[in-house]
Structure 1
């Protein structure tokens, strides 16, 4: 499954005032939980922050891939473009403005690792990163990240 298939149009956003890393992770958790009760979003936010405390999920070049696995979590992703970069403690020292957050269930750890590798490979493309940074609206981001959906609308 391509990494972009983890996304849904409703989970692709631009955050104008991201605030801190914790606030970004909280926003990602709310997107990932959708209509689930706020208690689930809070629990997922804590799981993302616990994972982040182990080691930064920033992979360099302004990209972070926060992720969490747990019982009852669906395999899904959210993309957040931050209008103002946030310090994620990246090894290259670059603040993060492109965030691809993911969740997965405990029962398929190999699939979770495959998804992480796919996202890292996809976002290692400097041209894609620049196009994502140039996008000012969620619709522009969706056109870049959901190419099949964009092609369907064009047809």
Structure 2
């Protein structure tokens, strides 16, 4: 599985405006809906909020992977956003979060969902890659960097 299969260029935000955790979830959900009009924004926000209640998806080093499962979806979808200012996302390391990778999977897709989470987590462990994303000026540049890094063996 490659990230290109579930992250479209239209679902990337180069400069998020959100300043709080709920705003981040709303902005990522709105972006997913713009890229995939059959999705419902309020339902997406609720699914992501419910998962956050179990514990923050802020994995540290400036990265968060909010995720959830949504009935009626046929395939995994994602949105990615960069917050230049950083947001308090209650990350495990207590640091501000700048890189947000939201995943929404079909309700009965544990394997795909977990593989995608593991792949994204592995990708964003690389400090040089995180820095290059933060320096990328446009959504097209950000998307290309993610796809290029994910294609490496």
Q: CA deviation at 1:91?
A: 1.4
What CA deviation, in whole Å up to 9, does each residue of 1:106-139 have, x standing for no partner? 1221211111111101111111101001112212
What are the residue-to-residue correspondences of 1:53-68 with 2, within 5 Å? Answer: 53-68=53-68
- CA distance in 1: counterparts of 2:118 and 2:109, whole angstroms: 15
Give 2:108's aligned residue: 107
Q: For structure 1, which runs of at least 5 residues remain unmatched after alignment?
A: 149-155
Q: For structure 2, which runs of at least 5 residues remain unmatched after alignment?
A: none
SS in 2 for 1:23: helix
The answer to whether the 8 Å contact 2:25/2:45 transfers is yes
Aligned-CA RMSD value: 1.8
**Number of residue equivalences:** 147
State the TM-score, normalizing by the size of structure 1.
Answer: 0.87
State the TM-score, normalizing by the size of structure 2.
Answer: 0.88
The answer to whether the 8 Å contact 1:18/1:83 transfers is no
Give 2:6's aligned residue: 6
The answer to whether the 8 Å contact 1:64/1:99 transfers is yes
